[in-house]
């Protein structure tokens, strides 16, 4: 696979951060079709990158349930993932709580709450959201990085496995 094809296929794995796919392409050893190897490569490059670049990637993520309030902020991947988790079907009270939690979280940490929603219900997501709001910045930054990698891994698996 040439670079243009690789970037077209994997450039959106990390939200609005094609630099990760670019770095992965430049450091691959021809193992582009093995999803596990590729996922590990993307994760290791992202986690070893400059913290300012990591923060920019975290900040590129949309807020949860913005599909209801600001649908243009979602990428195709985020829209699908949030929809599958039912985040586009929130009740008025859930929507209000997500709105409050999003605002409190972003004010406290300086980036949006990030969670790999695959396999989680709205109530499970809200429960984790409430708990993580109590973390300190260092722990939450690391948690957000890990969740970002988890999202990327799911996306890589979806791309390769169809």
pLDDT score at 79: 77
pLDDT score at 78: 79
Return the closest-CA partner of residue 57 out of 65, 49, 66: 49
Q: Is 124 a member of any domain?
A: yes
Q: Is 33 a member of any domain?
A: no
Q: Is 24 a member of any domain?
A: no
Domain containing 78: what range?
A: 63-148
Q: Is 159 a member of any domain?
A: no
Q: Is 44 a member of any domain?
A: no
pLDDT score at 37: 87
Annotated active-site residue in 21, 32, 38, 61: 61
Residue 145 φ/ψ, nearest 5 degrees: -60, -45
Q: Is 3 a member of any domain?
A: no
CATH number of the domain residue 126 falls in: 1.10.3330.10
- In angstroms and rounded to an integer, the radius of gyration of the C-alpha atoms of the chain is 16
pLDDT score at 85: 74
What whole-number distance in Å separates Cα of residue 100 and Cα of residue 10? 33
CA dihedral 116, 118, 124, 126 (to 10 degrees): 50
Catalytic residue flag (residue 16): no
pLDDT score at 157: 93
pTM: 0.90
Q: Is 89 a member of any domain?
A: yes
Q: Is 111 a member of any domain?
A: yes
For the chain, what is the domain count?
A: 1
Q: What is the pLDDT along the chain (162 residues), one digit of tens a residue?
A: 889 999 999 999 999 999 999 999 998 765 566 788 899 999 999 999 999 999 999 999 988 875 555 666 667 787 787 877 778 888 889 999 999 999 999 999 999 999 999 999 999 999 999 999 999 999 999 999 999 999 999 999 999 887
């Amino acid at each position: 696979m040439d670079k243009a094809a690789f970037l077209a296929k994997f450039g959106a794995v990390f939200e609005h951060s094609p630099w990760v796919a670019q770095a992965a392409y430049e450091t691959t050893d021809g193992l582009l079709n093995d999803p596990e190897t590729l996922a590990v490569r993307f994760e290791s490059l992202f986690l070893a990158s400059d913290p300012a670049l990591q923060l920019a990637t975290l900040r590129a993520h949309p807020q949860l349930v913005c599909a209801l309030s600001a649908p243009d902020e979602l990428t195709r991947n985020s829209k699908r993932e949030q929809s599958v988790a039912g985040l586009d079907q929130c009740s008025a009270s859930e929507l209000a709580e997500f709105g409050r939690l999003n605002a409190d979280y972003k004010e406290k940490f300086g980036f949006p709450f990030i969670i790999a929603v695959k396999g989680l219900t709205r109530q499970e997501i809200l429960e984790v959201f409430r708990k993580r709001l109590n973390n300190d910045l260092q722990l939450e930054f690391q948690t957000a990085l890990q969740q970002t990698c988890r999202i990327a891994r799911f996306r890589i698996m979806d791309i390769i496995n169809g």
